[in-house]
Amino acid sequence: MPKVTIDGKEIEVAPGTSVIQAAEQAGVRVPRFCYHDDLPVDGNCRMCMVEIEKFPKLQIACGTPVTDGMVVKTQVTSEKAKEAQKNTLEFLLVNHPIDCPVCDQAGECYLQDQYMDNGLHDSRTVIEEKIAKRKVVDIGPIMLDAERCVVCSRCIRYEREVTKTNLLQFVNRGGSTQITTYQGGPITHEYAGNLVDVCPVGALLSKDFRFKMRVWFLKETDSICPGCSTGCNITIDHRDGEAYRIRPRRNVEVNKSWICDPGRDLYKIIGAGRVTTAHRAGGALVAPAELLDEVVSKLQAAGANSAFLASPRASNEDAYAFKKLAQATGGRLDFRVGNPQDKVNVRKDQILQREDRHPNTNGLLNLGLGVTGVDALLADCKAGKVQVLVLQDGGILRDSAVAEAAKQVPYVVAFATHQGPSLAAAHAVIPAAVWAETDGTFTNFDQRVQRFKRAFEAPGEAKPRWEIALELLTRLGKPINAATAADVFVEMAVETKAYADLTHRSLGPKGRPSAERAQAQASA
Amino acid sequence: MASSVIIVNRDTKPGYYPIFYGMWLTLRNMLETLFVKGRSATIEYPEQKRNISTRYRGVHLLTAREDGTPKCVACYMCATVCPAECIYIEAGERPEKKIEKYPTRFEIDLLRCVYCGFCVDACPEEAILMSRENDLVGTSRAELVIDRENLMHRGKLAEVGAGYRPVDHDVRRPVRIAALERLKSEHGIVPGMPGGRR
């Protein structure tokens, strides 16, 4: 393990680490444009200059691997490095337009940040002499502004290495170099949004987010994408209870720095068409407490003649509380419609997406749900053996098999997040929160337990599904000693082998493999 | 007794003189106000109005480009700096690629505004200024949340004149000078000079 001294601080790093990574580990961020943690090193922007002892000239930190005994001085301690970075920045700004007031990147722009950190020079360029390039070019889900580009080639390397589509390339030379797509065509793959995140400046901007909000107003909440069983780590950017966008959060074990565009679009479902009030069939409003009392009395009357249909969209906490509810009633419990467990590991493409479009199929399997299969449960419903059917996700009524079976059940309870015509089949609709509105955990395809945090309040009377289940359990006289999702997780960890020794806190921001998976990994 | 304590002698007898002097002062002021010209402390508002400073921070106004569209590029600087959070902006796309952005909605809640003038200082485009209009009347709260059109065509602007702007004559900023010249040619407002009737 080579030892390296960075700004007087000695640290030990893995062999093959570059100076820029070692500096990051020592707590120093060397400014950069072209270097990206998950892309191959190119070393073209010349921004990350550092002084290394015994090297006659300054070196680029991204392209220099550390060796044992190396002594590095970054811009923090080296005047030479600082001067070099300042001059590089001035060159990069020579042809940069003064667009900051209208540029969506403002606030998270490397040029702005680094100008404020170590530039602060007066411009020596005459505005009229700046080279004009193409502006506001529509390339599918992205807006291209070639004038703002710093020619770092991050997007080109992303297209080459990650999506392998090679849709972007440089044209022209020298100061006129600019980025373009082949024949000006659109970006067609499902990972275009990452180009926006990869771009350090405002050259590639999201068309969806365009002009919606200035980024400094947004608050960030760590979350997990609920779009498929991959469980990509994401950040939800929101303001005043409204989500504005989803960005990937780096997790080398799962999604690196990427997410797919369908996942990126999921912020739209948070606010649109939500169920906000407890109501009966036909939309007659009723106080939530009164409705819960009614559900409990029906459940008590039905006893073992009740059935519970869990949802793989629900978190582990939701599923556990729901399972307890089924056990307290004595009813049957299942969750599969189709066979999501068969698809949980099947890739949809070679990058991130998986065929199972539910985030928590493995979580429900770990809890021992789904023993008999939904088909048998639905057959019982059709045969009239079921008095009360509780659906953890009202959306499942869109499935024709479930809708058919529900018609034969005298009392259908649905925890519903979104409105829809199929919801009319439910006799009691209890508004439920979506994933962004509660704490919880998902277990992904790889048995990795990952935590998502609450970004904002659920709308209206909506509550997290675990909370609804807890309230029903309390009314049934079998309360669980839990006030938060973390408490529920603790209760669950005691009973469930897969989650032994895990708590919300110990999961950390990047999640951990379940107990069994960790064992398997250790033995392998 | 400690040396820092001062003993005040209250055993004084001022006599009747101060009482009569005070009464005379009151009477004199009353008579002067009634009969001596220019000594009145009040004016006949609203027929008469006070001469307000040219840097007065009254109701805001949005300036326009030559084609009549707002100069504002919806950069949200004013909304960001606003301590009262009274500015609401929604941005839209302009066909001109050099400008790109403009406000489709621009609303100021005048009841919430504290008239600090930070928005004027923050604006990079000289798009938001303040007028000297200060007699603000409305019959509902909603009426005093004024929108983009209202801000661009302040009815009383010619009467009361423009108020607070950032540094008036800054020769280093040709954009600003051009904006002030346009303000003069379009609205007849000369910065630094009293506008309106006086």
Burial, A61: exposed, middle or buried (Cβ in 10 Å; 0-12, 13-18, 19+)? Answer: buried
> Strand ranges (DSSP E) for A197-294?
204-206, 219-224, 233-239, 242-248, 279-280
Q: Give the distance, in angstroms, between the CA of residue A168 and the centroid of all CA atoms in the same chain.
A: 26
pLDDT class of B190 with cuts at 50, 70, 90 = low
**Which residue, A481, A390, A480, is CA-closest to A430?**
A390
Residue B143 included in any domain:
yes
Q: Give the distance, in angstroms, between the CA of residue A463 and the centroid of all CA atoms in the same chain.
A: 22
Q: Count other C-beta atoms under 10 Å from residue B92's C-beta.
A: 11
Q: Give the distance, in angstroms, between the CA of residue A29 and the centroid of all CA atoms in the same chain.
A: 25
CA distances for B125 relative to A228, B99, B181, angstroms: 46, 11, 14
- CA–CA gap between residue A359 and residue A441 (Å, rounded): 10
pLDDT of B195 strictly over 60 = no
Give me A64's structure tokens.
Answer: 């220099």
- CA–CA gap between residue A462 and residue B165 (Å, rounded): 48
Give me B4's structure tokens.
Answer: 């820092």
| pLDDT for A231 | 94
CA distances for A314 relative to A226, A327, B9, B76, angstroms: 9, 18, 84, 38
Q: Quick one: closest CA in A to B101, which residue?
A: A102
* Per-residue tens of pLDDT for chain A, all 524 residues: 899 999 999 999 999 999 999 999 999 999 999 999 999 999 999 999 999 999 999 999 999 999 999 999 999 999 999 999 999 999 999 999 988 999 999 999 999 999 988 777 777 888 888 899 999 999 999 999 999 999 999 999 999 999 999 999 999 998 899 999 988 899 999 999 999 999 999 999 999 999 999 999 999 999 999 999 999 999 999 999 999 999 999 999 999 999 999 999 999 999 889 999 999 988 889 999 999 999 999 999 998 899 999 999 999 999 999 999 999 998 888 887 667 677 888 888 889 999 989 999 999 989 988 766 788 888 888 888 899 999 999 988 998 888 999 999 999 999 999 998 999 999 999 999 999 999 999 999 999 999 999 999 999 999 999 999 999 999 999 999 999 999 999 999 999 989 988 999 999 999 999 988 888 888 87
The pTM score is 0.86
Q: Which of A102, A135, A214 sits opposite B73 (nearest CB)?
A: A102
What is the extent of the structural domain holding B128?
Answer: 60-71+115-187
Burial, B94: exposed, middle or buried (Cβ in 10 Å; 0-12, 13-18, 19+)? Answer: middle
Chain B closest CA to A268's CA: distance in Å?
Answer: 18
Contact B101 A135 (CB under 8 A): no
Contact A394, A423 (CB under 8 A): yes
pLDDT of B88 strictly over 50 = yes
| pLDDT for B40 | 79
Location of structure tokens 């004559």: B169
Chain A residues within 8 A of B98 when measuring between CB atoms = 135
Give the three-state DSSP class for B27: helix
E strand or H helix at A512:
strand A512-513
Q: Which of A102, A136, A217 sits opposite B75 (nearest CB)?
A: A102
Contacts of A442 (CB under 8 A, 6+ apart): A224, A226, A231, A315, A316, A359, A360, A363, A449, A450, A452
Give me B159's structure tokens.
Answer: 């009467």
**Which residue, A435, A440, A441, is CA-closest to A458?**
A435
pLDDT of B191 strictly over 60 = no
| pLDDT for B107 | 96
Contacts of A482 (CB under 8 A, 6+ apart): A470, A488, A490, A491
| pLDDT for B193 | 44
CA distances for A137 relative to A145, A147, A180, A200, B77, angstroms: 6, 11, 9, 18, 26
Longest dimension (CA), chain A: 86
- CA–CA gap between residue A108 and residue A221 (Å, rounded): 16
A130, A214, A217, A240, best to mutate vs chain B, most B CBs in 10 Å = A214
Chain A closest CA to B153's CA: distance in Å?
Answer: 24
CA distances for A153 relative to A156, A171, A217, angstroms: 5, 12, 29
- CA–CA gap between residue A194 and residue A210 (Å, rounded): 15
**Any chain B CB within 8 A of the CB of A208?**
no
Residue-range domains of chain A with CATH: 3-92 (3.10.20.740), 100-115+124-270 (3.30.70.20), 273-523 (3.40.50.740)
Give me A466's structure tokens.
Answer: 């675990």
Residue B126 included in any domain:
yes
pLDDT class of B171 with cuts at 50, 70, 90 = very low
Q: Quick one: closest CA in A to B99, which residue?
A: A102
- Cα-Cα-Cα-Cα torsion B16, B20, B25, B29, nearest 10 degrees, comes to 160
pLDDT class of B93 with cuts at 50, 70, 90 = very high
Dihedral of CA A38/A42/A47/A52: which sign? positive
> Strand ranges (DSSP E) for A219-275?
219-224, 233-239, 242-248
pLDDT of B157 strictly over 90 = no
Q: Which of B80, B101, B124 sits opposite A211 (nearest CB)?
A: B101
> Strand ranges (DSSP E) for B37-176?
60-62, 87-93, 101-109, 128-130, 145-146
- CA–CA gap between residue A359 and residue A340 (Å, rounded): 10
Contacts of A496 (CB under 8 A, 6+ apart): A320, A366, A367
Give me A448's structure tokens.
Answer: 């990795």
Q: Which of residues 370-399 of A touch B (CB under 8 A)?
A: none
| pLDDT for A219 | 96
Chain B closest CA to A211's CA: distance in Å?
Answer: 6
Contact B80 A100 (CB under 8 A): no
| pLDDT for B124 | 87
Q: Give me the helices (H) in A399-496, please.
A: 400-407, 465-475, 485-495
CA distances for A74 relative to A117, A213, B129, angstroms: 14, 35, 45
**Which residue, B95, B92, B161, is CA-closest to B129?**
B161
What single-letter DSSP state applies at residue B45? T
pLDDT of B48 strictly over 70 = yes
Q: How many domains does one find in chain B?
A: 1
- CA–CA gap between residue A21 and residue A2 (Å, rounded): 13
Kindly report, residue by residue over A65-87, the tens digit of the pLDDT: 999 999 999 999 999 999 999 99
Kindly report, residue by residue over A24-80, the tens digit of the pLDDT: 999 999 999 999 999 999 999 999 999 999 999 999 999 999 999 999 999 999 999
Highest mean pLDDT among A169-173, B53-57, B96-100, B129-133: A169-173
- CA–CA gap between residue B18 and residue B12 (Å, rounded): 13
**Which residue, A324, A353, A7, A24, is CA-closest to A163?**
A353
pLDDT class of B13 with cuts at 50, 70, 90 = confident
Chain B residues within 8 A of A135 when measuring between CB atoms = 97-98, 100
B76, B82, B85, best to mutate vs chain A, most A CBs in 10 Å = B76
Residue B168 included in any domain:
yes
Do the interacting molecules here have an ipTM over 0.90? no
Residue B95 included in any domain:
no
Return the amino acid letter for A244.
Answer: Y
Strand partners of residue A432: A463
pLDDT class of B174 with cuts at 50, 70, 90 = low
Q: Which of residues 4-33 of A touch B (CB under 8 A)?
A: none
- CA–CA gap between residue A7 and residue A18 (Å, rounded): 15
Give me A422's structure tokens.
Answer: 């199929």
Location of structure tokens 């603000």: B136
What single-letter DSSP state applies at residue B166? S
Q: Count other C-beta atoms under 10 Å from residue A482's C-beta.
A: 20
Contacts of B159 (CB under 8 A, 6+ apart): B195, B196, B197
- CA–CA gap between residue A300 and residue A318 (Å, rounded): 21
Q: Quick one: closest CA in B to A145, which residue?
A: B97
Contacts of B78 (CB under 8 A, 6+ apart): B87, B89, B118, B119, B120, B122, B123, B128
